[in-house]
Amino acid sequence: MKWNDTVIRYINTPNVAGSDIGVALQDMDLLINVQMAFKATDGTNSSGDLTVTLKDATNGTLIYAETFDDKTIATADLVANAWAYAEDIAKLVVKAPGLSYERQEGDWEGRRTVTVSGNNDIGYDISGSAFRSTHYLQKLEPQNTTLSFKLESAGSDADNTIVIALTENRTMARLPDAEEMKESKAMVLIIGQKMSKTILSLWDEGHKEQVLNIETFTDFDYEATHTLTFKNEYGNWYLVLDGKVLRNLQLNQYMEQVLTAEEGVYYRFTGWQDYTFKKVQFLNTPAATSATSNWEAVGYEMSGEGDNLSFEGKGYASWKNPIDLTKTTIKLQFEPGNNGWVQIAIADIPTIGTDSLDGLILPESEHNAISILFSREKETDLCLRLYGLSDNDKASGRLIAQVKNFNFDVPHDVRFVEKNGNYYIALDGKIIEKPMADGDNKYITTAITDCLKNISKNAYLRFSDEQKYGTKITNISFVEETFAEQ
């Protein structure tokens, strides 16, 4: 009695996908052959010689073979026990010194179904089958490296996923968990083609969403050569594609991880389907001096120098240092699109983007925080609102004041002023003591007063916009001065 020629392709086998052996062999394609020559059986147990062989499923090359003499196996569990021996042997093959399943091809090392041609001067051409990886053997410093490449499209009606990993560990899993990614000093970028869209994202198993969107393209040019590098801008790291800084997602924690790798990291390429890269080159990026500022921003296009910055587009900009709002006038010019708005969020904690606070903050939140909205309506009118709960407990913007024919082309002064035990907003020197939607319960006055009394001398400010319309915020400054009522 023999049981022969059982094939497992581990990457597609659910019963081993989560096991150690499934992880260890995730980039291999093995033919595992288990044979048992039975010598005796009593109906419950069977004994005999068990032979396990492992071969390369693509070309039949024998990788390892061993016979276990006089093994006794419960007949009812024959299959499970036989596979247990096969898995043990496979683990030994993967981990044994000198038994590498990889092959080297010039400057590259990778799986047997990946081919690489060319050189770095003219560009490498890489073709790989699904789930097969190859990595460049020279360690590179990503902050000083520009990756140049052409990516072959899967077609306008198809899906494809390409993974570019930067890692110190050449045997790291394709999509590592948070612990392995930290240990491997790694960052994993994903380029996904889904029908007519191309989505550039970042893998983070430790994040609740796992895949973090960096940018979505509807017009990604698969005929063109693209460049990819990283830039430190005002203390924050961003991905740069084709010279454009992609500020929707900060890469600080990931770059800090990668930059601790000794002598750089390896660049590794993988595809979820068959994939092709053309003209891959690793070019030197001149080391740039990082600009410094007391601002942190994400999403916005920024211009200016130091702390004198302008923000345009859709994003969040936070002032790093606490401000004493009892003494400080906020000066700024804001130009939201029609029906759009600019928000000044005041909080007791520093925050960038929405990592600690929601985009719009209710006064009832766990933090001492409020959102003041400056919206543009009917092209020329300014409506000043507090984001809060309506009388029927629905979140909305409660109207503080409406200013007809407001001049959006000049800077304005925003101040918080204490009067008769309450705090009010003052716009261009005029205190708004009677908010229009305050209500019988003085909701707006109470929310502003409670927030300012708790954090007025250590307030953190975050500026943002209505993401649908975008905005421009310029001429921002914080001036300690005596308030003069107009």
The model's confidence at residue 68, banded by pLDDT at 50, 70 and 90, is: low
Q: What is the pLDDT of residues 131-140, one digit of tens each?
A: 888 999 999 9
User: Residues 281-309: pLDDT tens digits?
Assistant: 999 886 555 556 788 888 788 787 777 88
Residue 438's pLDDT band (cuts 50, 70, 90): very high
The per-residue pLDDT for range 311-331, each reduced to its tens digit, is 888 888 888 889 999 899 999
- Give the confidence band of 416 by pLDDT, cuts at 50, 70, 90: very high
295-480: what fold? Jelly Rolls (2.60.120)
The answer on pLDDT for 233 being more than 90 is no
pLDDT tens-digit readout, 157-210: 557 789 999 999 888 888 888 888 899 999 999 998 877 789 999 998 777 668
Of 40 and 273, more confident: 273
User: If you average pLDDT over each of 2-6, 195-199, 306-310, 414-418, which comes out highest?
Assistant: 414-418
pLDDT higher for 21 or 234? Answer: 234
Cα gap 142→427, rounded to integer Å: 47
Mean pLDDT within 369-378? 92
Instruction: Please give the pLDDT value at position 99.
Output: 36
pLDDT at 22: 37
The mean per-residue pLDDT over the stretch 411-435 comes to 95
User: What CATH class has 104-284?
Assistant: mainly beta
The 3-class SS string of the chain reads CCCCCEEECHHHCHHHHCCHHHHHCCCCCEEEEEEEEEEEECCCEEEEEEEEEEEECCCCCEEEEEEEEEEEEEHHHHHHHHHHHHHHHHHHHHHCCCCCCCEEECCEEECCCEEEEEECCCEEEEEECCCCEEEECCCECHHHEEEEEEECCCCCCCEEEEEEEEECCCCCCCCCCHHHHHHCCCEEEEEEEECCEEEEEEECCCCCCCEEEEEEECCCCCCCCEEEEEEEECCEEEEEECCEEECCCCCHHHHHHHCCCCCCEEEEEEECCCEEEEEEEEEECCCCCCCCCCEEEECCEEEEECCEEEEEECCEEEECCCECCCCEEEEEEECCCCCCEEEEEEECCCCCCCCCCCCCCCCCCCCCEEEEEEEEECCCEEEEEEEEECCCCCEEEEEEEEECCCCCCCCEEEEEEEECCEEEEEECCEECCCCCCCCCCCHHHHHHHHHHHHHCCCEEEEEEECCCCCEEEEEEEEEECCCCCC
Residue that wins the pLDDT comparison between 62 and 344: 344
pLDDT (average), residues 229-244: 85
- Fold agreement (104-284, 295-480): yes
| Mean pLDDT, the chain, whole residue set | 80
Percent of residues, the chain, with pLDDT higher than 90: 34
Q: How confident is the model at residue 8 (pLDDT cuts 50, 70, 90)?
A: very low
- Residue scoring higher pLDDT (468 or 373): 373
Least reliable range by pLDDT among 13-22, 58-67, 246-255 = 13-22
Name, in order, each residue with C-beta under 8 angstroms of 431's C-beta and a sequence gap of 6 or more: 417, 419, 424, 425, 485
Give the whole-angstrom CA distance, residue 273 versus residue 131. Answer: 7
Map out the domains of the chain as residue ranges.
6-95, 104-284, 295-480
- Kindly indicate the confidence band of residue 374, based on its pLDDT and cuts at 50, 70 and 90: very high
Mean pLDDT along residues 461-467: 85
